[in-house]
């Protein structure tokens, strides 16, 4: 084993360090195995119940009327997430697009959108109109209100109660922390928040941005009262095989409203050719619990490796996981660069490419990104990015297999060690 790792560029010292850390994570990994096993059964149950057959993999073109495979897949998603309906389409370009059609489809002029748990994901700022943008919800007369989390990261129930008013129509809660420093919310916490809001105003629509959260737990926000959950197929539920797409699962009314926005009023879910992606969508969804498990193992491995090397990590090495993102504060631009070069060097695609920081549109500092993915921008695949500004943190996620995630993390340590930017612990001190 050591030899094959050496051929890949991992020194015996780094390999040994990784092995020691891995040995300490047996119980955590078993916990992830059990969650994945449960979720695998959940997906299988939904596939069997809906009698998925070879016919489902057929392609449609043009209008896509009566696309049996597409319609059956939407039932499989709905049954897995325990919702009345689901929209799962390649016409949904990305996660932001899925979130935008869910919002535009369910809000009307004069309504108010409430974010009760802090600012939504960056890309939603222009959708909502927090940052002025042509075609935003704000331009259609939909107002926005936000309640920030309390200092300790908990929900500010008093302020939420005061923020809900007669115009509050839809509440948006983001499960994963994304690029913020707050902790990600557990499904249970989200359920408590939804109950609280529904008690104040029963008919308000509760929508959860579920990106990066699918299959991390045995329950989803739709199991604890969410009217709509929304996500991207180039993250967890696509299982690495979906080449594009997004989903909106929820009540029939909410999903149909979103579909009317995705296509148009009157056409809704009836049109939308599947263009040959059905098989990848099914197979990816089937694999998604396992792929998510691999990414979780990678995240926990990285947390423990970098904690042991003396860096602050969020979440820490022992905390329960709510999503697949791992943040590591490396404290210097040289370390951020070396880390990303390591992730890149471990990739199956473009491993020979050397990532450099660049001025990415929409960011206020240079950003360095590492991704050697089969699907462009897919972040269920092993990837990392770091804004080149204090505190010099990298955000790391994905890995289609645990073994690949492991190599990526070891390679990041290798690059840091070669540049003498970290000191490996004395092997004797580890067990």
Ligand X SMILES: *Cc1c(COP(=O)(O)O)cnc(C)c1O
Residues near ligand X, by CB under 6 A: 94-96, 121, 123, 174, 176, 178, 209, 211-212, 232
Side-chain-side CA neighbours of 358 within 13 Å: the count stands at: 7
CA distance 39 to 16: 33
Structure tokens at 127: 């959708």
On the 0-12 / 13-18 / 19+ scale of CB atoms within 10 A, 388 is middle
CB 180 within 8 A of CB 118: yes
In the complex, the smallest distance separating the C-beta of residue 244 from ligand X, rounded to whole angstroms, is 10
In the complex, the smallest distance separating the C-beta of residue 411 from ligand X, rounded to whole angstroms, is 24
Q: For the CA atoms of the chain, what is the radius of gyration? A: 22
CA distance 216 to 425: 31
In the complex, the smallest distance separating the C-beta of residue 176 from ligand X, rounded to whole angstroms, is 4
CB 201 within 8 A of CB 170: no
In the complex, the smallest distance separating the C-beta of residue 49 from ligand X, rounded to whole angstroms, is 29
Phi, psi of 246 (to 5 degrees): -150, 170
Quick one: 74 or 323, whose CB is closer to ligand X?
323
On the 0-12 / 13-18 / 19+ scale of CB atoms within 10 A, 356 is exposed
In the complex, the smallest distance separating the C-beta of residue 209 from ligand X, rounded to whole angstroms, is 5
| Residue whose C-beta lies closest to ligand X | 95
Q: Residue 315: is the preceding peptide bond cis (ω within 30°)?
A: yes
Least Cα distance to 128 among 114, 147, 110, 149 occurs for: 114
In the complex, the smallest distance separating the C-beta of residue 120 from ligand X, rounded to whole angstroms, is 8
Q: Which residues, 6+ apart, have CB-to-CB distance to 405 below 8 Å?
A: 294, 295, 297, 298, 299, 301, 302, 382, 398, 399
Quick one: 94 or 407, whose CB is closer to ligand X?
94
Quick one: 46 or 173, whose CB is closer to ligand X?
173
Structure tokens at 26: 């047996």
In the complex, the smallest distance separating the C-beta of residue 387 from ligand X, rounded to whole angstroms, is 16
Q: Residue 163: is the preceding peptide bond cis (ω within 30°)?
A: no
In the complex, the smallest distance separating the C-beta of residue 422 from ligand X, rounded to whole angstroms, is 28
**DSSP string covering 339-367:** HHHHHHHT-SSSTT-----B--TT-SS-E
CA 122 to chain centre: 14
Quick one: 238 or 289, whose CB is closer to ligand X?
238
In the complex, the smallest distance separating the C-beta of residue 336 from ligand X, rounded to whole angstroms, is 20
Quick one: 207 or 416, whose CB is closer to ligand X?
207
Q: Which residues, 6+ apart, have CB-to-CB distance to 130 below 8 Å?
A: 119, 124, 144
Quick one: 18 or 239, whose CB is closer to ligand X?
239
Quick one: 96 or 326, whose CB is closer to ligand X?
96
CA distance 234 to 381: 9
In the complex, the smallest distance separating the C-beta of residue 127 from ligand X, rounded to whole angstroms, is 10
């Amino acid at each position: 084993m050591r030899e094959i790792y050496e051929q890949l560029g991992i020194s015996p010292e780094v390999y040994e360090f990784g092995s020691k850390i891995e040995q300490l994570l047996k119980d955590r990994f078993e916990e992830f195995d059990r969650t994945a096993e449960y979720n695998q059964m959940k997906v299988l149950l939904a596939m069997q119940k809906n009698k998925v057959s070879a016919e489902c993999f057929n392609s449609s073109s043009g209008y896509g009327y009566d696309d049996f495979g597409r319609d059956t897949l939407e039932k499989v998603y709905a049954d897995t997430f325990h919702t009345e309906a689901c929209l799962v389409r390649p016409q949904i370009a990305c996660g932001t697009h899925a979130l935008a059609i869910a919002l535009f489809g369910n809000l009307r002029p004069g309504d108010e959108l409430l974010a009760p748990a802090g600012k939504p994901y960056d890309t939603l700022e222009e959708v909502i109109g927090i940052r002025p943008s042509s075609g935003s919800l704000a331009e259609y007369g939909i107002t926005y209100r936000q309640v920030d989390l309390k200092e300790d990261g908990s929900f500010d129930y008093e302020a939420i109660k005061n923020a809900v008013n007669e115009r509050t129509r839809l509440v948006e809660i983001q499960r994963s922390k994304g690029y913020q420093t707050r902790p990600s919310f557990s499904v249970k916490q989200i359920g408590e928040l939804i109950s609280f809001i529904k008690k104040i105003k029963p008919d308000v629509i509760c929508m959860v941005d579920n990106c990066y959260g699918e299959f991390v737990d045995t329950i989803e926000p739709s199991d604890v009262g969410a009217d709509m959950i929304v996500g991207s197929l180039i993250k967890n539920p696509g299982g690495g095989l979906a080449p594009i797409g997004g989903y909106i699962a929820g009540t029939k009314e909410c999903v149909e409203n979103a579909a009317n926005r995705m296509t148009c009023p009157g056409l809704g879910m009836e049109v939308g050719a599947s263009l040959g992606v059905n098989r990848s969508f099914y197979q990816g969804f089937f694999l998604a619990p396992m792929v998510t498990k691999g990414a979780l193992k990678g995240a926990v491995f990285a947390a423990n490796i970098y904690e042991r090397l003396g860096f602050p990590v969020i979440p820490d090495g022992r905390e329960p996981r709510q999503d697949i993102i791992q943040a590591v504060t490396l404290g210097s631009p040289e370390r951020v660069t070396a880390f990303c070069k390591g992730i890149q060097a471990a990739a199956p695609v473009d491993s020979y490419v050397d990532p450099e920081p660049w001025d990415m549109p929409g960011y206020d500092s240079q950003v360095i990104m590492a991704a050697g993915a089969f699907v462009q921008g897919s972040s269920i695949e092993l990837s990392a990015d770091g804004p080149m500004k204090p505190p010099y943190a990298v955000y790391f996620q994905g890995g289609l297999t645990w073994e690949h995630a492991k190599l990526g993390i070891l390679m990041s340590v290798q690059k840091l060690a070669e540049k003498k930017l970290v000191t490996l612990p004395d092997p004797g001190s580890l067990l």
